[in-house]
Structure 1
Amino acid sequence: MNKKELIESIADAADISKADAEKALNGTLATIAETLKKGDKVTLVGFGTFSVSKREARTGRNPQTGKAIDIPARNIVKFKAGSKLSDAVN
């Protein structure tokens, strides 16, 4: 499912226009991104938890040349599925 199909599904489920569903989805995604950028967690009970984790700088290897390269530190986003989502999938 892509974003367009998700918007159509939201519009049908909530009985709203596709434009309103797109605004709601974009607003939700922007809010999640802003919250994670601040370093906070986003917990949607039953669905899952989005969080940010710090990955330290490290040394890696270029697979083509075998030469050592420095990989900078960065923040990564993690998602842990909630029980209801896990149960729905299994």
Structure 2
Amino acid sequence: MGRTLTRADIVERVWAATGMSRPRAAQCVEALLDLMKEALRREGRLLFSGLGLFDCRAKGPRRGRNPAAGEALMLPGRRVVAFRTSRKLRALLVCPGTGTGGDAPGPQAGPEGDAA
């Protein structure tokens, strides 16, 4: 696998593709990320056609263990963000010869009809 794509890499690619100034490209990327975070905070879902679905899920409290003391404790519930790829993206990620996306689960139809 290659290097991880960072926020700075995205800004650089937006700058190169659009010809806008680097500060303006950085503002655009930040504005998009802010919109995404706000949508997840308010609605709990974010659908990008052709990419996939970001979905906030509530996880209940669970038993844990303090590794230093070895004592059992209850960890509070929390919200997590799950991402599910669209069929289009999943098709692009197919590993040659295996017909799968590596360790990713196979195609599944989702509640949104997986129209992404």
For structure 2, which runs of at least 5 residues remain unmatched after alignment? 95-116
Give a deviation string over 1:14-69, Cα, whole Å, max 9, x none: 33222222111111111111111113311010111111000111221123432111
Query: Which ranges of structure 1 fall in alignment gaps of 5 or more residues?
Result: none
Amino acid in the other structure paired with 1:35: A
* Aligned length in residues: 90
**Aligned to 1:60, which of 48, 59, 64?**
64
Distance 2:18 2:56 in 1: 31
Q: Give, in whole Å, the separation in 2 of the partners of 1:86 and 1:17.
A: 34
Counterpart position of 2:82: 78
1:51 aligns with 2:55: yes
Root-mean-square deviation (Å): 1.6
User: In structure 2, what is the equivalent of residue 10 of structure 1?
Assistant: 14
After superposition, the Cα gap between the structure-2 partners of 1:16 and 1:83, relative to the gap in structure 1 and judged at 3 Å, is farther
Normalised by the length of structure 2, the TM-score is 0.69
Q: For 2:69 and 2:22, how far apart are their aligned partners in 1?
A: 50
Q: Percent identity?
A: 26
> 1:51 is paired with a residue of what secondary structure?
strand
- More helix per residue: 1
Of structures 1 and 2, the one with the larger relative CO (CA 8 A, separation 6+) is: 1
